[in-house]
């Protein structure tokens, strides 16, 4: 024990360990079975869960089998209808009871999480557990309000939820609280490295008197997860690696399951010369070294404006040298243990590769066991592995930039789009960056801010769907299913040679690309509606996507401008009403004009929201267009179906590549003439006629198509979902015919599916 004078001289921390006793006592309940139908099952084949800081075995948990999953899904299936039928108020009381019980066990949860995951107690105690509790309170509120706030919407039913090891309890709360509030029952599989806090939560479900089967927890590894994906569930919500996310996308294709994916990230942390550099250094500490860098949204690409790069790196290094690495249970530890030796090996490997590719490594301290000192990589290029691959360790790679434009280019030079952190005291610079960075969450002069009422989730290969707030609730609700007949597959098309078509056939029809009429690339056509239409193919899709990208200004123009254009389209359609009616019917032509008016009305009204989250912040949930969308328009009502899919998408700022009804494309091509005379900028709407299934495949596979709607037969829907796994675009597919004349033709889903939420955190009133 140092004397007071010595302590004052060294200003060092003394040990301040939290006792593990509370958790070790609880662990004596093991070995653990699953939690199914309100009770723990007998343990089956078990595996060890280990304390990564010491290597000590904490408990044995059961490796879930397909039968275990089936039993859990069966229990959930049985419990769900009654749970859904409970008044929202009754569900709210259950969620509130869970929140209260969790709050009473906060210390146990925190210590257990530290033992199982290796994260510092400060983080588990001050961030993870209180946020998890907050999620249950927040969603108790949503359960209460659901009838008022989401009228007409219904839960999915049984949700399979798979979570990773980096925030075991918090991820559980993010998944279970909204699902339950919305009236779903769940089967959750925690990560194999960190199953314990989920088992403690299961015990609380029992203690809280939650109806049996509403929450089921099945432990196990990736095979157990795969069994859950394959099981009879109505929705899968997954957080984890992009690679597994892709596999889940493929496995669920065509199975009619709703899907949300929260995947990896390689988030930029951008520091401008005008930033408060000390605050930004602390930001890096929070963003990268927080939780040993095991945060999917960690700002692991540090982009610093050249003029301040040297002093910034110096301050950073000074701070790194003083970060405390060690016993995760010690309250003054900054960096704890990496979750597992496998993860540690991965970190070492990527750092070694980065150095081999020319990076300089600064890492005070030595790598020992599962402890990885903070690391800074400098002198690397944008192609270096440390700039491209998710590391999931306390490692940051730093590059410099000169101009804001270069910062944007570097920031967006990634397959991912989860989060970004922007540091500048200049509000114009900061907000301009927020607008341009492609990420689901942007923090200005801050980082890693989370709240139950703030939507969180990614774009591009970081996945789709949001968790938190209103957008998060929508992910656990749906509009009542469309009940029309299943669509039938389109007939196979035979290509007619372009110039050698039968004499006398009207050959005036063309594709519509970039505002101009084009022949199909191969020059072929196909017969439909008594005439010939161009047989579009992959090259035509490519050209159309390119043209749509060039029309990017459509996305940044005002909603008012877009509304005017849409109103003008409606006016011109009305002028050609008889032509349009001749291709459809009087009723359809009338309805189509009205539908354009309807979406014109929305063009300047799909507002974002300002969410109430934490003090001193504005949390803006902005609704951003996806960018370029692919649309497979329905067969039924070829004119109205085309208008009903194209108009909401463009009203909200997207540019589209649309494939009209294969057997009746004439009305859509007639609409292109209307668009031409209605001030629609070239490239905003592109129309490719031809074989629907093949064109859907091309759109699904195209990396520059950000979202896809498929109103087609089941086989085409399945194919599109499967093939979208490449860039993980969000796909909305529906294989039953809609009644486009009624409310089904314009329900809220079109609005919701035309945009994605970008959450921007701005300091306010601090």
Helix axes 242-252, 222-230, angle to 10 degrees: 30
Least Å distance between CB 155 and ligand NAI?
22
Least Å distance between CB 460 and ligand NAI?
13
Q: Does 63 bind ligand NAI (CB under 6 A)?
A: no
Measure the CA–CA gap between 118 and 337, rounded to whole angstroms: 5
Which token pair is 98?
Answer: 């869970």
Q: What angle do CA 154, 160, 164 make, to 5 degrees?
A: 130
Least Å distance between CB 222 and ligand NAI?
3
State which of residues 168, 240, 336, 537 lies at the interface with ligand NAI (CB under 6 A).
240
Q: Is 685 helix (H, G, I), strand (E, B) or coil?
A: strand
DSSP 8-state class, residue 479: P
E strands of 633-749, at which residues?
655-659, 685-687, 707-711, 730-734
Q: Which stretch binds ligand NAI (CB under 6 A): 129-137, 223-231, 638-646, 674-682?
A: 223-231
Which token pair is 552?
Answer: 């990017």
Nearer to ligand NAI, 168 or 534 (CB): 168
DSSP 8-state class, residue 613: -
Catalytic residue among 159, 296, 672, 698: 296
Residue 107: half-sphere exposure toward Cβ, Cα within 13 Å: 8
User: Which residues does residue 17 pair with via DSSP β-bridges, in sequence order?
Assistant: 330
- The helix or strand, by DSSP H or E, that contains position 36, with its residue range, turns out to be strand 35-36
Measure the CA–CA gap between 424 and 411, rounded to whole angstroms: 15
Catalytic residue among 18, 113, 262, 749: 262
Q: Does 436 bind ligand NAI (CB under 6 A)?
A: no
Q: Does 255 bind ligand NAI (CB under 6 A)?
A: no
Give yes or no for a cis peptide into 31 (omega within 30° of 0): yes
Q: Does 288 bind ligand NAI (CB under 6 A)?
A: no
Q: Does 166 bind ligand NAI (CB under 6 A)?
A: yes
Active site residue 262: yes
696 Cα distance to chain centroid: 22
Nearer to ligand NAI, 369 or 491 (CB): 369
Window 193-222: contact mask with ligand NAI (x via CB under 6 A): ----------------------------xx
- The helix or strand, by DSSP H or E, that contains position 672, with its residue range, turns out to be helix 666-676
Window 592-631: contact mask with ligand NAI (x via CB under 6 A): ----------------------------------------
Q: Does 390 bind ligand NAI (CB under 6 A)?
A: yes
Q: Does 191 bind ligand NAI (CB under 6 A)?
A: yes
Q: Which residues, other chains included, contact 74 with Cβ-Cβ below 8 Å and sequence gap of 6+?
A: none
Q: Which stretch binds ligand NAI (CB under 6 A): 12-20, 57-65, 237-245, 350-358?
A: 237-245
State which of residues 315, 317, 346, 549 lies at the interface with ligand NAI (CB under 6 A).
346
DSSP 8-state class, residue 343: H
Nearer to ligand NAI, 343 or 644 (CB): 343
Active site residue 297: no
Measure the CA–CA gap between 435 and 144, rounded to whole angstroms: 35
Q: Does 392 bind ligand NAI (CB under 6 A)?
A: yes
Measure the CA–CA gap between 326 and 373, rounded to whole angstroms: 9
| Ramachandran area for residue 483 (φ above 0: left; ψ -120 to 50: alpha; else beta) | alpha
Contact 456, 296 (CB under 8 A): no
State which of residues 33, 118, 195, 264 lies at the interface with ligand NAI (CB under 6 A).
264
Nearer to ligand NAI, 415 or 549 (CB): 415
Which token pair is 387?
Answer: 């700039």
Query: Which positions from 170 through 189 interact with ligand NAI, judged by CB under 6 A?
Result: 189
- The helix or strand, by DSSP H or E, that contains position 517, with its residue range, turns out to be strand 516-518
Closest C-alpha to 214, from 75, 313, 109: 75
Q: Does 50 bind ligand NAI (CB under 6 A)?
A: no
Least Å distance between CB 229 and ligand NAI?
5
Least Å distance between CB 80 and ligand NAI?
22
State which of residues 210, 263, 420, 592 lies at the interface with ligand NAI (CB under 6 A).
263
Least Å distance between CB 487 and ligand NAI?
30
Q: Does 168 bind ligand NAI (CB under 6 A)?
A: no
Measure the CA–CA gap between 166 and 191, rounded to whole angstroms: 9
Q: Does 291 bind ligand NAI (CB under 6 A)?
A: no
Q: Which residues, other chains included, contact 349 with Cβ-Cβ below 8 Å and sequence gap of 6+?
A: none
With CB atoms as reference, the residue minimizing the distance to ligand NAI is 225
Measure the CA–CA gap between 200 and 218, rounded to whole angstroms: 13
State which of residues 73, 229, 377, 422 lies at the interface with ligand NAI (CB under 6 A).
229
Window 301-340: contact mask with ligand NAI (x via CB under 6 A): ----------------------------------------
State which of residues 61, 102, 162, 173 lies at the interface with ligand NAI (CB under 6 A).
162
Contact 223, 107 (CB under 8 A): no
Q: Does 296 bind ligand NAI (CB under 6 A)?
A: yes
Which residues here bind ligand NAI, judged by CB under 6 A? 162-166, 189, 191-192, 221-222, 225-226, 229, 239-241, 244, 247-248, 263-264, 296, 343, 346, 390, 392
What are the catalytic residues? 262, 296
């Amino acid at each position: 024990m140092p004397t007071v004078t010595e302590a004052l001289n060294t200003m060092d921390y003394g040990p301040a360990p939290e006792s593990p006793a509370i958790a070790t006592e609880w662990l004596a309940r093991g070995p653990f079975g699953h939690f199914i139908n309100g009770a723990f099952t007998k343990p089956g084949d078990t595996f060890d869960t280990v304390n990564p800081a010491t290597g000590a075995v904490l408990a044995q948990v059961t490796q879930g089998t397909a039968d275990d999953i089936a039993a859990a899904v069966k229990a959930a299936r049985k419990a769900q209808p009654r749970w859904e039928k409970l008044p929202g108020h009754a569900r709210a009381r259950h969620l509130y009871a869970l929140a209260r019980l969790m709050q009473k066990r906060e210390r146990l949860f925190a210590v257990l999480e530290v033992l199982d995951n290796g994260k510092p107690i400060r983080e588990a105690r001050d961030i993870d557990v209180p946020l998890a509790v907050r999620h249950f309170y927040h969603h108790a509120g949503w359960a209460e309000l659901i009838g008022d706030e989401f009228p007409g919407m219904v839960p999915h039913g049984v949700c399979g939820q798979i979570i990773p090891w980096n925030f075991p309890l918090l991820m559980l709360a993010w998944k279970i609280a909204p699902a339950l509030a919305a009236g779903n029952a769940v089967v959750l599989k925690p990560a194999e490295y960190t199953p314990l806090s989920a088992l403690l939560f299961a015990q609380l479900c029992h203690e809280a008197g939650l109806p049996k089967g509403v929450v089921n927890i099945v432990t196990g590894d990736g095979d157990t997860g795969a069994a859950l994906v394959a099981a009879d569930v109505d929705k899968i919500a997954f957080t984890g690696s992009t690679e597994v996310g892709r596999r889940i996308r493929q496995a669920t294709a065509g199975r009619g399951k709703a899907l949300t994916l929260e995947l990896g990230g390689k988030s930029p942390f951008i520091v401008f010369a005008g930033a408060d550099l000390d605050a930004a250094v602390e930001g890096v500490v929070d963003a990268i070294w927080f939780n040993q860098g095991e945060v999917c949204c960690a700002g692991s690409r540090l982009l610093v404006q050249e003029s301040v790069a040297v002093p910034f790196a110096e301050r950073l290094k000074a701070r790194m040298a003083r970060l405390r690495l060690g016993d995760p249970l010690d309250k003054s530890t900054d960096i704890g243990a990496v979750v597992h030796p496998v993860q540690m090996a991965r970190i070492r490997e990527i750092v070694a590769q980065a150095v081999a590719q020319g990076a300089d490594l600064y890492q005070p301290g030595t790598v020992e066991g599962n402890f990885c000192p903070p690391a800074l990589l400098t002198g690397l290029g944008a192609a270096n592995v440390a700039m491209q691959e998710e590391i999931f360790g306390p490692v940051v790679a730093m590059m410099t930039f000169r101009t804001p434009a270069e910062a944007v280019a570097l920031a967006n030079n990634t397959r991912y789009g989860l989060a970004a952190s922007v540091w500048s005291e200049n509000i114009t610079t900061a907000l301009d960056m927020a607008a341009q960075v492609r990420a689901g969450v942007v923090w200005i002069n801050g980082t890693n801010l989370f709240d139950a009422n703030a939507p969180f989730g990614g774009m591009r290969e970081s996945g789709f769907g949001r968790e938190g707030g209103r957008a998060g609730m929508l992910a656990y609700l749906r509009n009542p299913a469309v009940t029309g007949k299943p669509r039938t597959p389109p007939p196979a098309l035979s290509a007619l040679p372009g110039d050698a078509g039968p004499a006398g056939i009207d050959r005036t029809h063309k594709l519509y690309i970039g505002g101009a009429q084009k022949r199909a690339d191969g020059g072929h056509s196909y017969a439909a509606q008594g005439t010939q239409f161009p047989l579009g193919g992959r090259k035509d899709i490519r050209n159309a996507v390119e043209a749509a990208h060039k029309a990017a200004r459509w996305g940044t123009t005002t909603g008012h401008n877009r509304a005017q254009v849409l109103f003008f389209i409606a006016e011109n359609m009305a002028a050609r009403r008889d032509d349009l009616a001749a291709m459809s019917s009087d009723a359809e032509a009338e309805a189509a004009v009205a539908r354009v008016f309807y979406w014109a009305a929305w063009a300047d009204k799909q507002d974002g929201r300002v969410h109430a989250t934490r003090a001193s912040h504005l949390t803006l949930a902005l609704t951003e267009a996806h960018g370029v969308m692919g649309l497979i328009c329905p067969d039924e009502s070829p004119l109205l179906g085309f208008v009903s899919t194209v108009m909401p998408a463009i009203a909200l700022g997207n540019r589209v590549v649309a494939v009209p009804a294969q057997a009746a494309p004439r009305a859509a091509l007639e609409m292109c003439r209307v668009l031409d005379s209605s001030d629609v900028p070239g490239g905003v709407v592109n129309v490719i006629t031809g074989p629907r299934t093949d064109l859907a495949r091309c759109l699904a596979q195209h990396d520059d198509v950000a979202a896809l709607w498929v109103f087609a037969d089941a086989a085409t829907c399945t194919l599109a979902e499967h093939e979208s796994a490449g860039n993980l675009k969000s796909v909305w597919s529906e294989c039953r015919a809609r009644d486009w004349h009624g409310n089904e033709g314009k329900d809220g889903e079109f609005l919701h599916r035309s945009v994605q939420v970008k959450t921007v955190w701005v300091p306010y009133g601090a």
